[in-house]
Amino acid sequence: MKIYPLIAAVTLTCFCACSSHEDKVKEEHDKGKEKVEEKSAMVQGVGEGLKTSGKSAISALTEGIGAVVKGAEVGFDKGLTKVNVKADTSVNVFGIKIGKCGKFYSDSLKTNVVSTYAIFNENFDNELLLVATDNENQEVGRVKQKVNEKEGSAKYVDFAFDKRMNIDIVKEFKLTVNYKKKKK
pLDDT digit string (tens) for 126-159?
999 999 999 999 999 999 999 999 999 999 999 9
The per-residue pLDDT of the chain, averaged, comes to 79
Of 151, 125, 140, give the one whose Cα is nearest residue 173.
Answer: 140
Give the structural domain span for 162: 85-177
CATH of the domain at 156: 2.70.50.60
Provide the domain count of the chain.
1
Judged by average pLDDT, the poorest of 43-57, 85-99, 110-124 is 43-57
CA distance 154 to 164: 30
| Model confidence pTM above 0.75 | no
pLDDT at 28: 78
Beta strands in 25-95 (DSSP E): 85-87
Task: Classify residue 135: in a domain, yes or no.
Answer: yes
Task: Classify residue 11: in a domain, yes or no.
Answer: no
Residues in the chain: 184
pLDDT at 68: 52
